[in-house]
Amino acid sequence: MLVVYPIQTVLIFGMMKNKILALMVFALLAAGLQAQTTLNELYREFAGAENVTKVNLNGLALMLARPFMEDHGSGKLTSIRVLSLEECRQEVKERFSRAALSFRDEEYELFLNANDKDEKARIFVKIEDEVIREMVIMTMGDDPALVHLKGKFRPSDIDEMSNGGR
């Protein structure tokens, strides 16, 4: 005959509560990781949207455009990728804005966050050896867009560009 004492019951339930609690914590962590959106996921999700404008320039295209571009220091631009959702339906614009606001990619750090009444902008950078290797600009609002620049830029190059090349 099996005899269960009250202290054994308390111990068994205590161990079960710890296991259940641990499972719940792991489930929440997994859900949090799933909620992160990387740059490529964000780009792929909206690149196929109806009425989106896509521009990809690299290599030869940038070399041909160089004579028509203003010189802003010694920064070297190697790639430009743009998604403009200006002509998309409002539902797509709102979905992009939500995705851009929840953008989390461990490769990039937030450089600038600007909030106006109807517009928001986020600038993220990837820095290696004190040089900005990539810059991601996201605008949200009536004219949402994603701009991804690759190259080698010093912080002084960014200052020079923001001051109109002065």
SS3 59: coil
Domain positions in the chain: 1-35, 37-162
Tens of pLDDT along 64-106? 766 666 654 445 888 899 999 999 999 999 999 999 988 888 8
Tens of pLDDT along 105-122? 889 999 999 998 889 999
Q: What pLDDT shows up at residue 51?
A: 93
CA distance 67 to 85: 28
Average pLDDT along the chain: 78
Contact 85, 93 (CB under 8 A): yes
All residues at 6 or more sequence positions from 36 whose CB lies less than 8 Å from its CB, including other chains: 104, 105
All residues at 6 or more sequence positions from 62 whose CB lies less than 8 Å from its CB, including other chains: 77, 78, 79, 80
